[in-house]
Structure 1
Amino acid sequence: MLAVGDVKACFPKIPPTGDPNWEARRQAAVAKATLWKKMKWFSPFWIPRDKTEKILADARIRTREQAIQLFNYHTSTLYTLAFQAVCIAQMLRRSRSLREVCALAGEAYLAFYSGYRAASISALIPAIEGGLTRIVSGSESELPIGVKIDRVIDCCIENAARLHYERMWVPQDYLTKDYLLGQDERIFAFETFRCWLQKSFFQKTGEYDGVTWLNRHVFAHGTHSDWQESGNFSRLVVALATLALIESWYDETHVVSLFFPEMNEDSKLLWQQALLQANAQMSLKLIEERCYQKHGRLVPEMPTDDGAFLRKALLSEECIKDLVRPLRDAGWMVEVGEPDESGLYVKVVAKAVGQQFTVALLHYCATDNSIYRKLAETCSAILYRGAPYKQKEFASGITVHVGPVAGWLPPIAPNRKSTWRSHPVWRRVRQVTRRTGLMQSAWKIWRNGRRGVF
């Protein structure tokens, strides 16, 4: 390093190419960038390194579809409601180019957790292009979108490169993105964000082959409807917050920090409002489900929700309460299966002393007759939630027992009586009461008192 007055210059001793350590770090950076591209995302800001390394490790040995599924799984605990609220209420509000979409993003955020998911996603997709256009305001705003992206990201990388060397003069070869890709995490993140914008979000319709279908042209031309996937909403919120950070590096205002801010009153109130909307939506979903069930129908599918998740939850809850517990009370060992993919039925196997039988619990009575026939092949009884609804029509030709689960009484297990009599407490009661002649009364007391245990 050479200093002349207040001016400093840095002359690296390592050549800009050919150094083994530099090559190793660059190759590692390129490998990570490839994994982020595989997941149709970019190196994220505001996420701890151990979390990002876990995401990358899981994606490394998976197919693209599996990698994106695991990415959605991991980010569901990272891009939480509170995280999104901070992005909208604090980061977007500080951005010059995105300040005017802050209200739109807040409304989309609340609408998403009120059940209007597709509308929320569609409201935010155009905001990214609008934000880029406002960042390069002036004569450059008429440039093609790809050129705008390059102008913005190149400027950010240039500013980050100067900061990397503490604003000293450095030979130009050491300031390029190729040289600093594996040396500076900020430049690496900026470059992967460029890749996501150009190779995923703004990629031409005919060239796009993604799994998330979060693509501006696919959305605009209506060539595919899978852009409505729920996971795309959190992606859009984080992408907008990242764009706000990009702008602060583009104009060197740094109003959006690389460190995730503490939640203030604005973001806290927005987050609490979203929780309230989500709780109200859950109550509304249950009311809708009961209303449609009375008419023998499933709640109509929506683009972002086919109702299977709610049906599975209701089936699992009522299976334990209305089927498993009575079977256990009757002395049976119970094995509970998983609900089917559509959440229409679940199977339970009861076993005792070499005997077993299978019972199926349907989501509702008005289930297709083909499902009744399929279950009748392996089940001794087919039960359903709620009240009967045209049972004779839907269960036509079924010879096994069919009826509501609330009205079904399971058979007593063959070892139920021997279980009572072998219990240590029962043996003690028998010894005591044998002397007093109260054997019969004591047995009745024991039976009635312990009926709910065995």
Structure 2
Amino acid sequence: MPEKSTGTDAMLPKKFKGLWCRALKLSHLSALNAETIALWAKDAGLDVQEVVEKRVGAFRPIPAVALTVAGNTAYFPTISATDDPAWVESRRAHERIAAIWSKAEWFESLWVPRGQIGPLLVAVEHRSKEEAIIQFDYHTSTIYTLAFQAVCIAQLISKSRTLAPFYPIVREAYLAFYAGHRASSIAALIPVMEGALQRISVENGNLHVAEQIDRVIDRACGLAARISFDCNWVPDEYTTTEYLYGQDERVFIFETFRQWLKDVFFRNTDKYEGVTWLNRHLFAHGTSTDWANDGNFRRLVVALATFGVIESWHDESNSVPMLLPEMNNDSVLLWQQAQLQAQGQLALRMLEQQNYQKYGQIVPPRPTDDGSLLRKAYLTDECIKDLVRPLRDAGWDVEMGEPDEQALKMKVIARGGGTEIHVGLLFSCATDTEIYRELAKSCIAILYLGPPDVQKAFTQGINVHVGPVAGWQPPRAPRLP
């Protein structure tokens, strides 16, 4: 059984505070030293065991005098909590980084090496909001990978008291996302975010969301502050989030997560000014469907895992680590399962496209995928097989262009015997007439994949050859005299 605190132990914080008040009367805290503290402590009737000068605090230690009395230690910093040049510089640096994260509508990331975070921040800092999000999604697609997400779900989210009940839903959403049901997967995770906040601290359930967020984050920051100073006594001004924002990396992470929750995810609809549209109210009230994009699924998985860390520091349970664990069998199997889903989805999409191709059409777009990547791959392959090879067999040197952004059209240039011809290739017969007219200005023929499908309805006024690429016989390249 632990020993009960004596009356002397209970009085020590007041004694320590008295010594600190005396220190603040010095002309400058740098004048404080071990001899002075030892003398003051004895004057206050304390039985001094040890007094040493040392650097204290995690991440960015500060100079202090450590006084030990009756097995209890107090730290008396010898630099100011408000105007120390090193602290001011660190604070400004962290505010700059936080501003970049705010532009990207995100927060300081856990589990990601600085070597990966640095290029992301550089890419985002001097761009517009829209360009910043594009850069963020590009960089995080190589950071929050399929395997990274599997670890977050199987080894972090599953360990959280708050999130464990939602683990089957998160796991299924992950598999469904890579099986092609992307919008549905994102929609399944948004309510889990709100549930996580409410379940972390039941006693805060009747408070406004912003107050719930503050209560939870404040408590997590409080534990970080105590641990930062080895759970020893330290003046209150050195344990505030204002001070530790630039000193303790954990507090900085928690604070930027707080701001993301307030300014983005739980922001009132009329005040939301972001670009990602990952907002609980926009989703719940059907104000916008722009939340349905690939990047938001990665964001939600990482945000939920971060909630698990917040819970661990709120409850002091340490159930979800701040360091990314090595993949275990659970996450490896989940990762492999997602890969199988993705491979099966690719085969299914090709079959779907072939079915639509029979009718000269393209597969209708989905909220998170307009099908352009699949069309681009298919259009390029078919162009090589059914257009480039026959032209080369006919004696032409062929230059193949790139598909357009929507992968609806592309063009090839054939040269031979001092002659140059252009041929257009469309993904389907049922293509807008304006695209036919555009190609007709430079092409001797406009071809398309698949069979004819009411071709005349799309080609009125077109005076060049139009037809299926599979049925076109290219002319022979002329020979030089």
Counterparts of 1:24 and 1:165, CA distance in 2 = 21
Task: Give per-residue Cα distances to partners, 1:383-420, cap 9 Å, x unaligned.
Answer: 111233333443333222222223334344446x89xx
Counterparts of 2:171 and 2:183, CA distance in 1 = 15
Q: Does 1:49 align with 2:49?
A: no
Show the counterpart of 1:302: 366
| Aligned equivalent of 1:228, options 292, 295, 298 | 292
Q: Does 1:93 align with 2:154?
A: no
Counterparts of 2:166 and 2:265, CA distance in 1 = 19
How big is the shift at 1:51? 0.8
| Aligned equivalent of 2:447, options 351, 371, 383 | 383
Counterparts of 1:330 and 1:187, CA distance in 2 = 69
Task: Give per-residue Cα distances to partners, 1:183-234, cap 9 Å, x unaligned.
Answer: 1111111100000000100000100011110000111111111011121111
- Superposed, which structure 2 residues align to 1:414-429 within 5 Å? 414=478
Show the counterpart of 1:34: 99
SS in 1 for 2:77: coil
Q: Does 1:269 align with 2:313?
A: no
| C-alpha spacing 1:296/1:412, structure 2 compared with 1 (3 Å) | closer
Letter in 1 for 2:258: R
Letter in 1 for 2:249: E
Counterparts of 1:326 and 1:21, CA distance in 2 = 71
Show the counterpart of 2:324: 260
Specify every segment of 5 or more residues in structure 2 that has no aligned partner in the other structure, as ranges: 1-65
Show the counterpart of 2:189: 124
Return 206-215 or 288-297, whichever deviates more. 288-297
Counterparts of 2:248 and 2:398, CA distance in 1 = 57
How big is the shift at 1:336? 2.6
What is the Cα-based RMSD across aligned positions, in Å? 1.7
Letter in 1 for 2:292: Q
Specify every segment of 5 or more residues in structure 1 that has no aligned partner in the other structure, as ranges: 419-454
- Superposed, which structure 2 residues align to 1:160-309 within 5 Å? 160-309=224-373
- Superposed, which structure 2 residues align to 1:335-346 within 5 Å? 335-346=399-410
Show the counterpart of 1:429: none
How big is the shift at 1:373? 1.8
SS in 1 for 2:278: coil
Counterparts of 1:123 and 1:130, CA distance in 2 = 12
Show the counterpart of 2:384: 320
Show the counterpart of 2:82: 17
| Aligned equivalent of 1:402, options 461, 466, 472 | 466
Letter in 1 for 2:402: E
- Superposed, which structure 2 residues align to 1:55-74 within 5 Å? 55-74=120-139
How big is the shift at 1:331? 4.4
Letter in 2 for 1:53: G
Counterparts of 2:83 and 2:417, CA distance in 1 = 75
Aligned residues: 416
| Aligned equivalent of 1:356, options 411, 420, 435 | 420
| Aligned equivalent of 1:78, options 139, 143, 154 | 143
Counterparts of 1:353 and 1:295, CA distance in 2 = 38
Is contact 2:361-2:429 (8 Å) kept? no
How big is the shift at 1:273? 1.6
Show the counterpart of 2:429: 365
Counterparts of 1:11 and 1:359, CA distance in 2 = 80
SS in 1 for 2:205: helix
Counterparts of 2:469 and 2:352, CA distance in 1 = 21
Return 353-362 or 173-182, whichever deviates more. 353-362
SS in 2 for 1:378: coil
Counterparts of 1:75 and 1:305, CA distance in 2 = 18
Superposition TM-score, scaled by structure 1 size? 0.88
Counterparts of 2:457 and 2:99, CA distance in 1 = 56
Show the counterpart of 1:437: none
Letter in 2 for 1:270: L
SS in 2 for 1:11: strand
Letter in 2 for 1:218: L
SS in 1 for 2:398: strand
How big is the shift at 1:10? 1.5
Counterparts of 2:122 and 2:70, CA distance in 1 = 48
Moved over 4 A (4+): none
- What percent of counterpart residues are identical? 56
Counterparts of 2:438 and 2:207, CA distance in 1 = 61
